[in-house]
Amino acid sequence: MQKVLSILVENTPGLLSHVSGLFSRRGYNIDSFSSGVTADPRYTRITIVTHGDDMILEQIEKQVAKLCDVVDIKTLEPKDSVTRELMLVKISARDTDRQSVLSICEIFHGKCVDVTKDSMVIEVTGKADKLDSFLDMLEDYEILELARTGLTGLTRGTKDVVMLDEDGKRRSL
């Protein structure tokens, strides 16, 4: 079973190594890991996708919540959240291939972000299955390089939003 955790943490040095170290020490696997500073530069939001049985996933969530820099942790349930992944794909493409590649991009709402005389870089965002389907459509082209960000996401609505005041104390909306 897979679980997506959205973790709000204090933006401190060594933060990412603390979180990833916990997984390493306990022998838990990370399927994807993405992080970035929030609207408040004192905090970072980390999205971790992991898997295991119910007991393992419960242990992971409890262990992560115990880390001193963790302010909030929530599970991103598919029906109650919005999740996306970004993928950049560099393909070998001569001028005769470009129009057909652009047609595929249009179907997947992707965009060409770079073109040279012998390659194209395409950007596609969406759920993992959409990105995988896009790659399937590119099977006739040589993929030179590929980079995926891993999943990131937020819950829908405002019911579980955590707001923090200047002192880092929770406040209501």
pLDDT digits (tens, 9 = 90+) for 76-97: 999 999 999 999 999 999 889 8
Give dist(CA 167, CA 42) in Å, integer: 11
Task: Report residue 122 as tokens.
Answer: 């395409």
Helix axes 15-26, 54-66, angle to 10 degrees: 150
**Cα angle at 98 between 92 and 99, to 5 degrees?**
155
Edge to edge, the sheet with strand 2-10 lists: 30-37, 43-51, 2-10, 70-75
Q: Which of 121, 119, 142, 124 is nearest to 134 (CA)?
A: 124
Between the alpha carbon of residue 111 and those of residues 84, 89, 120, 134, 135, the distances in Å are 16, 11, 10, 12, 14
Task: Report residue 70 as tokens.
Answer: 């963790």
Domains of the chain: 2-75 (3.30.70.260), 82-152 (3.30.70.1150)
> Of residues 141 and 172, which shows the higher confidence score?
141
Local confidence band at 15 (pLDDT 50, 70, 90 cut-offs): confident
Between the alpha carbon of residue 56 and those of residues 8, 23, 24, 31, 103, the distances in Å are 21, 11, 14, 14, 44
Q: What is residue 165's predicted lDDT score, i.e. its pLDDT?
A: 75
Local confidence band at 172 (pLDDT 50, 70, 90 cut-offs): low
Extended strands (E) in 66-115? 70-75, 81-92, 111-115
Q: Which of 91, 88, 85 is nearest to 147 (CA)?
A: 88
Residue with tokens 């596609």: 124
Q: What is residue 163's predicted lDDT score, i.e. its pLDDT?
A: 75
Q: What is the pLDDT of residues 17-69, one digit of tens each?
A: 888 888 989 889 999 999 999 989 999 999 999 999 999 999 999 999 998 88
Is pTM beyond 0.75 here? yes
Give dist(CA 28, CA 45) in Å, integer: 20
Average pLDDT, the chain: 92
Q: What is residue 45's predicted lDDT score, i.e. its pLDDT?
A: 95
